[in-house]
Amino acid sequence: MKPNQTLSALQCGRYRLPVADASHRPLVMGILNVTPDSFSDGGRHASLELAITHAENMIAEGVDLIDIGGESTRPGAPAVSVEEELRRVMPVIFALRDCGRPLSVDTRRLAVMRAAIDAGVDMINDIDAFRCEGALSLLSDSDSALCIMHMQGEPQSMQQAPHYEDVVAEVSAFLAERIDAALKAGIARQRLCIDPGFGFGKTLGHNLALLQHIGSMQTALNVPLLAGLSRKSMIGQLTGRPIEKRMAGSLAAALLAAQQGAKIVRVHDVAETVDAMKVWHASTQTNRKNENP
- Split at pLDDT 50, 70, 90, the class of 41 is low
Q: What was the pLDDT predicted at 20? A: 73
Catalytic residues: 232, 266
- DSSP H stretches of helix in the chain: 48-60, 82-96, 110-118, 135-140, 167-184, 204-212, 214-221, 233-239, 247-260, 270-291
pLDDT by residue (tens digit) across 97-153? 999 999 999 999 999 999 999 999 999 999 999 999 999 999 999 999 999 999 997
Cα gap 37→44, rounded to integer Å: 10
CATH class for domain 9-291? alpha beta
**Can you give the residue ranges of every domain in the chain?**
9-291
Cα gap 11→193, rounded to integer Å: 10
- Give the residue from 92, 14, 28 showing the smallest Cα distance to 61: 28
| Window from 71-85, 226-240, 261-275 with minimum mean pLDDT | 71-85
**CA pseudo-torsion sign 168, 170, 174, 180:** positive
Contact between 112 and 92 under an 8 Å Cβ cutoff? The reply is: no
- Give the residue from 118, 207, 104, 116 showing the smallest Cα distance to 148: 104
- Split at pLDDT 50, 70, 90, the class of 59 is very high
Reduce the DSSP state of residue 86 to 3 states and report it.
helix
